[in-house]
Amino acid sequence: MCGIIGCNGVEGAASAITQGLERLEYRGYDSAGIAIIDNKKIRYEKKKGRISVLIKALKTQSDFVGSIGIGHTRWATHGKPSDENAHPHISGKFAVVHNGIIENYRQLKEKYLKLVSLKSDTDTEIIVQLLNRLYSGNCLETLSNTAKLLEGSFAIAVLCEDEPDTLYCVRKSSPLLIGVGNGVYAASDLSAINDRIHTLYRMNDGEIAVISKTEAEFYTFDKKKIVKNPEEFEKAESNCGKENYEHYMLKEIYEQPAAVQKTVDAYLENNKFRLDFELNKPERIYIVACGSAYHAGLAGKRIFEELLKIPVIVQVASEFRYSNPLINENTPTIIISQSGETADSLAALREAKSRGAKTLSIVNVRHSSIAAESDYVLLTRAGQETAVATTKAYSAQLAALYMLGIYFAEKFGTADSKTTEKLKSQLETLHTAILSALDCEMQIKELAQQLQSAEHIYFIGRGLGYAAACEGSLKLKEISYIHCEAYAAGEMKHGTISLIEKGTNVIAADTEPKLSPKLQSNIDEVVARGARVTAITSQGKIKADSVIKTPAVNELFAVSTQIVPLQLLSYHIARLRGCDIDKPRNLAKSVTVE
């Protein structure tokens, strides 16, 4: 997944583009580049490394002027991070930046570009070489013919020296927005251009945008002109930076109480839901997501099954779509996605819809592809999340799932009102318990000192504790680069316990009190083989080398409080290890490729 941006009719296009790229950097940051047309000639610069490296290089080129240009920040899919593999890619009169994957690039090279010596190892270069090879003198026609040959996902912005006053964009599967303001802009997401535009258009699959200095026209891949209606959008929240926090991740961990409170308050007031999802009681419910969103789904499954008394299937999106899922009009499908742009989750949404299922998405970005294509949307109010490792958006997803479980229980009449009323009032104060959970930070800092050099750390839990263990393990892995594994505690003895030896670090999430005695047995089993165990618990009974206490809450909501020490632990270990906490290696905030 990468971020692309383009603009036309913008004085100082280069700085507008680099500013936009800085806002898109969360989408990928191993290399970056820019191209502008100056005096009917394409000028470009591209560099391995962060956008700051590109900006530094541009500072040495005072004549990088022009009012039309394109830019790109990369997360490598084909070809290692390098200057040559960075975008834009150039061929003849064309420059191209691309977000997505061209799945048939090898076949296209074989068929059309056999004699062309490529300058990079990327799939994207095939696009620009094809444009050059097929160029008929008419850009729209050439783009139309080229787009029809491409398979996979692509959001591309194109410059052509023969049309120095026109910016072209093409979309299939990867997100692309067009904004009109003082000039016209194209971007992978709204954050890059939000403060520069007054009118917003969302490009759909199979569309080409022809962008002049003042307006955008839209065509199908068959060159049929189409009229698009603008989308409503809110001006961006002012991103007040890291404030007095060292990293965005720590700031966002501390923003979790507010994120949960705002999300709950948006839909639940005085114990009454402001939700209206036209759904009959289904045979079963699917929850589909990736990464941390999937882990939120694991926790959501528990409350759904407890209150709705129907099976809930939670699946990883990349597996769901190829598993021939047993989806029909009676199996509503919930898609959870912070960015609302995750390609696997978007594809799963489309798969569920194609099989007749009603779809409901829990997203944190209103103007996202998943929100746009869902039948219903529950928008979490976590605010913009900048750290690649999600925390507050994940916690807001949990709150959204708790609300949905209670809402559907009331709607389908599957839980008594005494139960639902109690849960709603506990949910309305959950944010205060999350706030209290933050009090463990000093203890966590000491624990981080002990664990910072660990090579392996195992996270175990039973029931909801397993969902917490999964998310705690992912957090630590993705920002500290320590190998971690989450395991159902009762399953350890069926093989994985062979890895436990003297000094092995194990973290146990004691989330469901009724399962504590069983979890204690599993803790004792690994201790007997030399493990050093840290337990996260809201009770005083669990015995372990270290015990981190969390506030007591309804066990159905306990992942929300128990994840806080695990997030803080991953943060402080990564900090001690000198890792790039907000932008970990190899990752990106929004994975818009399969």
Tell me which residues touch ligand AGP (CB under 6 A). 290-293, 337-339, 342, 345, 388-390, 478, 590-591
Residue 511 identity: T
Q: Shortest gap between Cβ of 290 and ligand AGP (angstroms)?
A: 4
Q: Shortest gap between Cβ of 293 and ligand AGP (angstroms)?
A: 4
Q: Residue 19 or 345: which CB sits closer to ligand AGP? A: 345
Q: Answer for the pair 93, 132: CB distance below 8 angstroms, yes or no.
A: yes
Q: Answer for the pair 8, 184: CB distance below 8 angstroms, yes or no.
A: yes
Query: What is the rounded CA–CA span in Å between residue 591 and residue 26?
Result: 10
Q: Residue 18 or 368: which CB sits closer to ligand AGP? A: 368
Placement of tokens 């990293």 in the chain: 247
Q: Shortest gap between Cβ of 53 and ligand AGP (angstroms)?
A: 23
Q: Residue 69 or 291: which CB sits closer to ligand AGP? A: 291
Q: Residue 102 or 290: which CB sits closer to ligand AGP? A: 290
Q: Shortest gap between Cβ of 474 and ligand AGP (angstroms)?
A: 6
Greatest C-alpha distance within the chain: 77
The answer to whether the Cα torsion of 123, 129, 134, 140 is positive or negative is positive
Q: Which token pair is 180?
A: 């009109």
SS3 162: coil
571 φψ region: left (φ > 0), alpha (ψ -120 to 50), beta (else) = alpha
Query: What is the rounded CA–CA span in Å between residue 32 and residue 74?
Result: 6
Q: Residue 292 or 520: which CB sits closer to ligand AGP? A: 292
Q: Answer for the pair 230, 200: CB distance below 8 angstroms, yes or no.
A: yes
Query: What is the rounded CA–CA span in Å between residue 114 and residue 293?
Result: 43
DSSP β-bridge partners for residue 461? 488, 509
The answer to whether the Cα torsion of 422, 423, 429, 434 is positive or negative is positive
Q: Residue 160 or 296: which CB sits closer to ligand AGP? A: 296
Which residues make Cβ contacts (< 8 Å) with residue 481, sequence separation at least 6?
577, 579, 584, 585
Query: What is the rounded CA–CA span in Å between residue 570 and residue 250?
Result: 10
DSSP β-bridge partners for residue 534? 507, 546
Q: Answer for the pair 312, 284: CB distance below 8 angstroms, yes or no.
A: yes
Query: What is the rounded CA–CA span in Å between residue 214 and residue 545?
Result: 66
Q: Shortest gap between Cβ of 471 and ligand AGP (angstroms)?
A: 8
Q: Which token pair is 253?
A: 């961990």
Q: Shortest gap between Cβ of 363 and ligand AGP (angstroms)?
A: 8
Query: What is the rounded CA–CA span in Å between residue 504 and residue 198?
Result: 57
Question: What does the chain come to in residues?
Answer: 594
SS3 565: helix
Q: Residue 331 or 337: which CB sits closer to ligand AGP? A: 337
Q: Shortest gap between Cβ of 354 and ligand AGP (angstroms)?
A: 20
Q: Residue 125 or 471: which CB sits closer to ligand AGP? A: 471
Residue nearest to ligand AGP (CB): 291
| Of 251, 301, 411, 589, catalytic | 589
Q: Residue 66 or 297: which CB sits closer to ligand AGP? A: 297
Q: Shortest gap between Cβ of 491 and ligand AGP (angstroms)?
A: 22
Q: Answer for the pair 266, 292: CB distance below 8 angstroms, yes or no.
A: no
Q: Is 2 designated active site?
A: yes
Q: What's the DSSP call for residue 520?
A: H
Q: Residue 497 or 591: which CB sits closer to ligand AGP? A: 591
Q: What's the DSSP call for residue 32?
A: E
Query: 557-575: b or e for each residue (b if 16 or more CB lie within 10 Å)?
Result: bbbbbbbbbbbbbbbbbbb
Query: What is the rounded CA–CA span in Å between residue 374 and residue 67?
Result: 37
Task: Give catalytic residues, as residue numbers.
Answer: 2, 589
